[in-house]
Structure 1
Amino acid sequence: MNKAALSPKTIDIEALGFDAGAHLLVKHALAALPQGQSLRVTSRAPGWQSQLAAWARAQGHPLQWESGQQAALMQRGNAEAGRWHNAAYTGHADAQAVDAVLEHALPGWGLAARGARVEAGGPQFHFKLDHKQDFWAENAADLYTQAVHAQWNPDTALDWNEVLNHPPEIEAAIVQVMTYMIENENAALLVPARFLGQLHPHYRELQAALAIQVADEARHIEVFTRRVRLGGAEPALSTAGGQASLKSLLDEPDFSIAGFLLSVLGEGTFVNLLQYLQAYAPDALTRQMCRLAARDEARHVALGMSHLLYRLQSEPSLRSRLANAVQARHDQLAGSSGLNEEVFDALILIGAGSLEPAAVQTGFERVQQLMRDMGDGRFTRLLRLGFEREEAERLSSLHTRNFM
């Protein structure tokens, strides 16, 4: 056998101390060796022997000295077996796949990147949402990508210099509807934000989708507030009934049920409302902001639908829980006023464009059509989720009169 083949590889770290980066040279030289093979280390740096010994001990590499500690013989150990937990290779049928999304994220993975080696002994992070089945949506990554490309800047996408020349009663109606929209968008921001803090970072696609949804709602609140003040007005009326309806969304602790009530029923209904304003608002600025907001809200509805379809595949019993949640919310709000009269009248005026009797009649008919469109949209989404026709019609009719 060739004696040269048995000789350990030698690395001279020269005058570089371990307090100045010498460990990098040793670390990379060891990494190039097969498991169990030795590396010979020499140096002329002061105190290098004690520094090398401490580093080798911490890393789990056996060390022997030769020539009166003039050289060290270090064997590449298997320290990683005891030091690291690998976050990518447990508990999933396809766990060996690159960037695998596992069914259950462990507390010890903490905030580490998905698939990273996680050093043992770190803190435990207890995220409430750590089982994929409870929140996942197969198209979360795609919806996030769409949202990134569809982001819009209120300062450039909207013409804030537009002169408002419609009648003051129509402007007052716009202010009232915008006030109503703001409080509903506050709820639409806070619900996903609350669950975002409960979601294990392993599920980063959904994390990103929820985060950009929160950003969408923040932008809507900004533009609706700016629109209120454009003519010098301040926000109008907010009612106890509207607040009670929205509070029921914030109080719902279950991710799937909250998403069902907010996104599938509430925001889906709001898409129709925004489209109504896009069609009948008296100024181009309001029409454009409602068009852009409706596009955002449609993505939020798509994310909510995608999650529920994913979960219902393996948990069809969820359907009865969703129905019970609609009924319970209806019963809880039975004593409230629902949509306040000022908002309803404002929508009629916006659809009318004036206080002429014939125009008001047209506006009233347009609002009635809006409410039919809202009901039809809810009914269609409920059918997609697997509800029978009669049940879908019943649940759609039970949805809060406050729209959200």
Structure 2
Amino acid sequence: MDASSPPTIDIETLGFDRGAHLLVKHALAGVPVGSTLRVVSKASGFRAHVVAWCRSQGHGVSFDEAGHALIVRGGYQSGRWCGAERSGRSDCRSPGAVAERAKASWGLAARGSTVEAGGPEWNFALDRKHEIWADEAADLYRQALAAQWDPETAVDWNAPFELPDEVEDAVVQVMTYLIENENAALLVPARFLGRIHPHYREIVQLLAIQVADEARHVEVFTRRARLKGRESALSTAGGQLSLKTLVDEPDFSVAAFLLSVLGEGTFVNLLNFLHVHAPDPVTRRIARLAARDEARHVAFGMAHLSRRLNAEPELRTRLANAIELRHDTLSAGGAGLNEEVFDALVLLAAGEWTPAAIAAGFEKVQALQSEMAEGRRLRLCRLGFDEAEAERLASLHTRNFM
């Protein structure tokens, strides 16, 4: 045999429908990517079977004059994939590499898998890494998995307590307010989930668990509102308008900014406030558990925006414009914090119906609002806004907190 001839195996009469592919795979394993293996066969239907098998495995195949198959081993070679394409390896030396843009032809395939040619094109609007990525996503997902809690066992719903009617009413009003805000926090990531290319699985997984977190918050706040036989309290038009501007935001990064960096960051302060001033053990417990979840959501928003702003500093202008537009829209519509919610927070912080206690409760709520604004300012500074601009933008955030 000529020294330049390709290595050859003879599979005799063994058909691909009876295991011949195992011999071919074994032989190909010893052939470099892009090199050729000759396969000799007397099996019935060999040509059709070997063509179909090579296509499914990502190998090229042709036939010589004698009818022997010349299989070119597929894989990354000289800047391209031979045969079927490999889904997502932007660098063939890094099997877990994440592509800067996911191809429509990869569809639902696992990252790094071989994708047979001829499949359907998938339309995922968010198919660019920079639009959605956070390097911390995988770690945050693992943390979220470890921190999941079951409302049935994590909260003692039978803990004995009785509150004065006015205090119980205040708790129910706050719970009603929390429910509608958590509904918004659930819908925002849910709207984007089906638009993200599955190649970026860490982001999909993290947002899915964020949706689960919010669904759990809605459950526990609803159970607390009804714990003593009350119905939910007031939901205002202004509060609904504030949340609608958030849910309607079409851009992933801007929505993450408004929801996670500003809104949920502010809500962490509110939930910690409720943990301190809750008049009963159930309210105290659920506020604490929800605050821990919300802190992770803020961490993802900050990680994503920090990464994108490092690459696209001009995005800060869009983010600032989004705050200003939302502020103008809500100011024109008269949206603000539900007065009943504000009064309920004052009463919970006061603890009793005396002038001195109410005055102290009022000051505590004022301090809460200042703490919220300062937290927003600090997060904006961490995202690269200068001190004056961060303070100005923090002050423009919706008075509805979320």
TM-score by length of 1: 0.88
Matched, 1:330 2:330: no
SS in 1 for 2:36: coil
Residue 170 and residue 382 in structure 1: after superposition, are their counterparts in 2 closer, same or farther (change >3 A)? same
Q: Decide whether the 8 Å contact of 2:176 with 2:233 is kept in 1.
A: yes
**Root-mean-square deviation over aligned CA pairs:** 2.6
- Which of 200, 203, 206 is the equivalent residue of 1:203? 200
**Residue matched to 1:342:** 340
**Residue matched to 1:57:** 51
Q: Decide whether the 8 Å contact of 1:105 with 1:202 is kept in 2.
A: yes
**Residue matched to 2:308:** 311
- 1:240-251 → structure 2 map (5 Å cutoff): 240-251=237-248
Q: Please report how far the alpha carbon of residue 264 of structure 1 lies from its aligned counterpart in structure 2 after TM superposition.
A: 0.7
Matched, 1:167 2:161: no
CA distance in 2, matches of 1:186, 1:7: 64
The amino acid across from 1:49 in the alignment is: S
**Residue matched to 1:84:** 84
CA distance in 2, matches of 1:7, 1:305: 55
Residue 121 and residue 380 in structure 1: after superposition, are their counterparts in 2 closer, same or farther (change >3 A)? same
CA distance in 1, matches of 2:180, 2:106: 37
**Residue matched to 1:389:** 387
CA distance in 2, matches of 1:309, 1:181: 28
Q: Percent identical across equivalent pairs?
A: 57
Matched, 1:225 2:219: no
Matched, 1:280 2:277: yes
SS in 2 for 1:237: coil
Q: Decide whether the 8 Å contact of 2:170 with 2:345 is kept in 1.
A: yes
Matched, 1:182 2:179: yes
- Which of 92, 95, 118 is the equivalent residue of 1:121? 118
CA distance in 1, matches of 2:9, 2:255: 62
Matched, 1:99 2:109: no
CA distance in 2, matches of 1:331, 1:95: 50
- Which of 374, 379, 382 is the equivalent residue of 2:372? 374
Gaps of 5+ in 2: 55-59, 76-80
- Which of 361, 364, 369 is the equivalent residue of 1:363? 361
Q: Decide whether the 8 Å contact of 2:13 with 2:44 is kept in 1.
A: no
SS in 2 for 1:333: helix
Q: Decide whether the 8 Å contact of 1:13 with 1:25 is kept in 2.
A: no
CA distance in 1, matches of 2:84, 2:214: 40
The amino acid across from 2:50 in the alignment is: A
Residue 226 and residue 325 in structure 1: after superposition, are their counterparts in 2 closer, same or farther (change >3 A)? same
TM-score by length of 2: 0.88
Q: Please report how far the alpha carbon of residue 169 of structure 1 lies from its aligned counterpart in structure 2 after TM superposition.
A: 1.0
Q: Decide whether the 8 Å contact of 1:88 with 1:95 is kept in 2.
A: no
**Residue matched to 1:398:** 396
**Residue matched to 1:69:** none
**Residue matched to 2:78:** none
Q: Decide whether the 8 Å contact of 2:172 with 2:225 is kept in 1.
A: yes
SS in 2 for 1:202: coil
Aligned residue pairs total 386
The amino acid across from 2:385 in the alignment is: F
Q: Please report how far the alpha carbon of residue 242 of structure 1 lies from its aligned counterpart in structure 2 after TM superposition.
A: 0.4
